Amino acid sequence: MDFQDIIIKKRDKQKLTKEEISFFIQGVTDGSLPDYQISALLMAILLNGMDAEETAQMTMEMAHSGALFDLSSLPGFKVDKHSTGGVGDTTTLILAPLVASLGVPVVKMSGRGLGFSGGTIDKLESIPGFQVGVTEEDALTYGKTSHLVLMSQTDNLTPADKKLYALRDVTGTVDSIPLIAASIMSKKIAAGANGIVLDVKCGSGAFMKTQKDAEALAHIMVEMGQHVGRKVTAIISGMDQPLGMYIGNSLEVMEAMEVLKGNVKGDLLEVSLLLGAHMLLLAGRVQTEAEGKALLQQQIDNGAGIAKFRELLIQQGGNSAIIEQPDLLPLSPCSLEVRAEKSGYLTHMDTAKIGRASQETGAGRAFKEQPLDFGAGIITKKRLGDYVEAGEVLAVIYSAKDKACASAAEIFQSALTISAEKAPLPPLVLNIIS
Ligand code: URA
Ligand code: CA
């Protein structure tokens, strides 16, 4: 098979056969295809799309490009969760301990940040001592003892996705519905859980900007998962402003701990409870969403959630004293306040831009191997719809370097719109698809 013919076929908007897709993914996995040809096909797919059948075939080829993680020796219904990527989106650190504290096993492999969006593994690595590299054997042990593992993807899990993800990040081919669907579902299928809750982000800080695109992505992923015998629910949630008030790595760990302690309410808690409730529903632990949310809230109120988080830290070598002393977490030395240039209502936040401001502080990567500044990021002070006075503090920027603080502050300032008139608030949850 000549790979150039496959590129030309997709360039000319034709449907690829199962054999052609298989040749593509095998060539990605064994390294026989050069990056420039892979990138050319990715761009043709981004521009001309793939139908449901092509997307499902690509997903299964990617899922089988490495070894499948066999969770069957772990008793109970295993639930997993994945976000399509947002800003200030720390739900995993909140819902995973809450769900696991109810005895429902959460063995979750997470990724690093992609583009302007943050990644759970980077956040966990900001905790002194915490080990994200866990063997499959240890993961199964932890799954039985604590019911909770948060770990990076093992080396032999979907190697084709690792290669494609890195190329997409630098070739302008991230925001394609079939490519995102195949990337996420190949990993989730290979990671072995029986049930999967997908948080499909929609808005200015998401890869999917419109509800229509987010729903199309959700439908493809739900159908694909169900087709291979997994229970899947997709929640379409709003990303027209950062989900939490803190953006960064150690900063998001700090906020997650405050939510788990019951000290912080708001959108981050709401979405965490909703996603967690749907994990409990899939596991058959509750009968209704309301019952699930109430049960998870109870695990916050009675301290079981933060206790499970402590257990996770101890299990994976992290310093659990951060729970009482969050100042043991890194916080970058330079800080700068961003103040409102005029009075009015906060009517719009360009959230991807806020994500890029966070990258600028050093909290996210501009290129693949860039080391992170774990203590960098942004503490926001205002939400959409709030009235602000001229001169009032809108956010505090943290970075290792004064210069990065200044440029991040400038980007952050330009991401906000302050208007004389109030604007309608975007919904936090747009749809639930199962
Ligand atoms: N998250 C993923 O895992 N893959 C994508 O392609 C986008 C978000
Ligand atoms: Ca992610």
Structural contact between residues 65 and 25, judged by C-beta atoms closer than 8 angstroms: yes
Strands, E assignment, 54-153:
79-83, 106-110, 148-152
Q: Which ligand is nearest to the CA of 153?
A: 1
Whether ipTM > 0.90 holds is no
Contacts of 431 (CB under 8 A, 6+ apart): 211, 214, 215, 218, 235, 236
pLDDT at 377 over 80: yes
Protein residue with least CA distance to atom 6, ligand 1? 180
Q: Between the CA of residue 1 and those of 5, 56, 107, 239, what are the distances in Å?
A: 8, 21, 40, 43
Q: What amino acid is encoded at 307 in this protein? A: A
The active-site residue out of 64, 123, 162, 187 is: 187
What does 378-430 look like in DSSP terms, one character per residue? EEE---TT-EE-TT-EEEEEEESSHHHHHHHHHHHHHHEEEESS--PPPPSEE
- Summarize pLDDT for 338-374 with one digit per residue, the tens: 999 999 999 999 999 999 999 999 999 877 778 999 9
| Residue 201, number of CB atoms within 10 A of its CB | 27
SS (H, E, C) 131-174: CCCCCHHHHHHHHHHCCEEEEECCCCCCHHHHHHHHHHHHHCCC
Which is the catalytic residue, given 122, 161, 267, 373? Answer: 161
- Looking at the CA of 207, which ligand is closest? 1
Which residue did the predictor score with more confidence, 174 or 241? 241
Distance CA 9, CA 321 (A): 57
Looking at the chain, the number of H-run helices and the number of E-run strands are: 16, 13
The pLDDT, as a whole number, for residue 204 is: 96
Predicted TM-score (pTM) of the model is 0.95
Instruction: Please tell me the distance from the alpha carbon of residue 190 to that of residue 70, in angstroms, as a whole number.
Output: 8
Distance in angstroms (rounded) separating the CA atoms of residues 206 and 216: 14
pLDDT confidence tier of residue 114, bands split at 50, 70 and 90: confident
383 is catalytic: no
Going along the chain from its start, the domains and CATH numbers come out as: 3-49 (1.20.970.10), 79-323 (3.40.1030.10), 331-419 (3.90.1170.30)
Q: Which ligand is nearest to the CA of 110?
A: 2
Q: Tell me if residue 168 is catalytic.
A: yes
Closest CA to 190 of 133, 107, 118: 107
**218, 98 contact by CB (below 8 A):** no
Q: Is 15 helix (H, G, I), strand (E, B) or coil?
A: coil
From the candidates 78, 168, 188, 201, give the one annotated as an active-site residue: 168
Query: Which tokens in the block code for residue 105?
Result: 């096993």
- The protein residue whose alpha carbon is closest to atom 2 in ligand 1 is 184
Instruction: Give the pLDDT confidence of 222-276 residue by residue, as tens digits.
Output: 999 998 999 999 999 999 999 999 999 999 999 999 999 999 999 999 999 999 9
β 377-380/429-433 pair status: unpaired
Contact 274, 293 (CB under 8 A): yes
Pocket of ligand 1 (CB under 6 A): 84-85, 111, 114, 180, 183-184
Q: How far apart are the C-alpha atoms of 117 and 123, rounded to whole Å?
A: 12
Tracing tokens 């002194």 back to the chain, one arrives at 128
Report how far residue 363's alpha carbon sits from residue 372's, in angstroms, rounded to the nearest whole number. Answer: 6
> Residue 63's pLDDT band (boundaries 50, 70, 90)?
very high
Q: Can you give the pLDDT at residue 135?
A: 95
Quote the tokens at residue 42.
Answer: 């990715």
- Average pLDDT, stretch 424-429? 96
In the residue annotation, 310 being an active-site residue is answered as no
pLDDT tens digits, one per residue of 180-222? 999 999 999 999 999 999 999 999 999 999 999 999 999 999 9
Q: Is the torsion defined by CA of 334, 268, 433, 222 positive or negative?
A: positive
In this structure, what token pair is assigned to residue 250? 């150690």
Per-residue model confidence (pLDDT) at position 270: 98
Q: What share of the chain is helix, strand, coil (3-state, %, to 5)?
A: 45, 15, 35
Q: Tokens in use for 256?
A: 């997650």
How many angstroms separate the CA atoms of 196 and 247, rounded? 26
